[in-house]
Amino acid sequence: MIFEPVSLNISQVSCERDDRLLFHNLSFALRSGDILRVAGPNGAGKTTLLRMIAGLFEVQDGVITIDQEPLSERRHQVLYIGHKPQVSRDLTVIDNLKFLTGFDEPVVKQALIDVGLRGYHDSLVKELSQGQGRRCALARLWCSEAPIWILDEPYTALDVTMVETLDRKINAHVAQGGLCLFTTHQLPQSLNFETLELGRVD
C-alpha cells in the first residue's frame, strides 16, 4: 500500500500547564516520509504536544492542520499510541486488536506473529508481562491504514529484538508515504529522524 501524500502543519502553538509555560509559538511542518523525534527532559511537554496533535488535548493557542484541514475532520487518518495500555485487560489479545483495527482474524493474527506474540492470541491481556502487553498495543501498527503515526514512548518495556522490529516497521511506514512523530529517551539506532528539542522555557 502507498499512502496519498499527506502533510501535518503545526503553527504558532503554545501551551501552559499549571502556570508552567511548556512551549511557546512552536511551528513546524511534516510531510510524507518524515520522521520526527520530539525530545526533551522529563516534564518538558512532549506528551502534551503529541496529544495536542492527535486532537486529544485542546489547542489553547495556535493552529494544527492536516492537509490544510482542521484536525477534527481527519481524525481517522491518525494513529495514536500513548502511555496507557490502549488495550482492555479483560479481553484476549486478538479481540482487542480486532476491535482497534477493524481487520479480520487472519490479518490480525499475522500482525501478532510479527510482534512476537505467537501462541498468545487467546491470552487475556492481563496475563501478559509488561513488554508483551506493549507489544500487543504496538501490533496495531502492523495493520494500520492511517498515514500519520503518533507514538509516545513506543520503546518502553520492549526488549532489544522488538526495538529493532519496531524500527524496521517505522522505516517501512515512511517509505510507503506515511509520516511518524514519536518521543523516546532511548536514541533509536536504525531510524533516520529529525529532532525537535523541547526545553524548559522558564
Ligand X SMILES: Nc1ncnc2c1ncn2[C@@H]1O[C@H](COP(=O)(O)OP(=O)(O)OP(=O)(O)O)[C@@H](O)[C@H]1O
Residue closer to another protein by CB (options 10, 100) is: 100
Residue 199 interacting with ligand X (CB under 6 A): no
Q: 104-134: buried (b, 16+ CB within 10 Å) or exposed (e) per residue?
A: eeeebbebbebbbbeebbeeebeebeeebbb
Of 30, 35, 100, 143, the one binding another protein by CB under 8 A: 100
200 binds, among its own copies, ligand X, Mg ion, none (CB under 5 to 8 A by kind): none
By C-alpha distance, which of 86, 134, 135 is closest to 114? 135
Residue closer to its own copies by CB (options 138, 179) is: 138
Residue 126 interacting with another protein (CB under 8 A): yes
Residue 159 interacting with its own copies (CB under 8 A): yes
Residue closer to another protein by CB (options 27, 60) is: 60
Distance CA 194, CA 185 (A): 14
Which residues, 9 to 48, sit near ligand X by CB under 6 A?
17-18, 20, 22, 40, 42-48
Of 57, 131, 165, 171, the one binding its own copies by CB under 8 A: 131
Of 23, 40, 49, 111, the one binding its own copies by CB under 8 A: 40
Which residues, 2 to 41, sit near another protein by CB under 8 A?
19
Which residues, 97 to 156, sit near Mg ion by CB under 5 A?
130
Residues in contact with its own copies by CB under 8 A are 18, 40-43, 47, 83, 116, 123, 127-132, 134-135, 153, 156-163, 185-186
List residues near ligand X by CB under 6 A. 17-18, 20, 22, 40, 42-48, 127-132, 157, 159
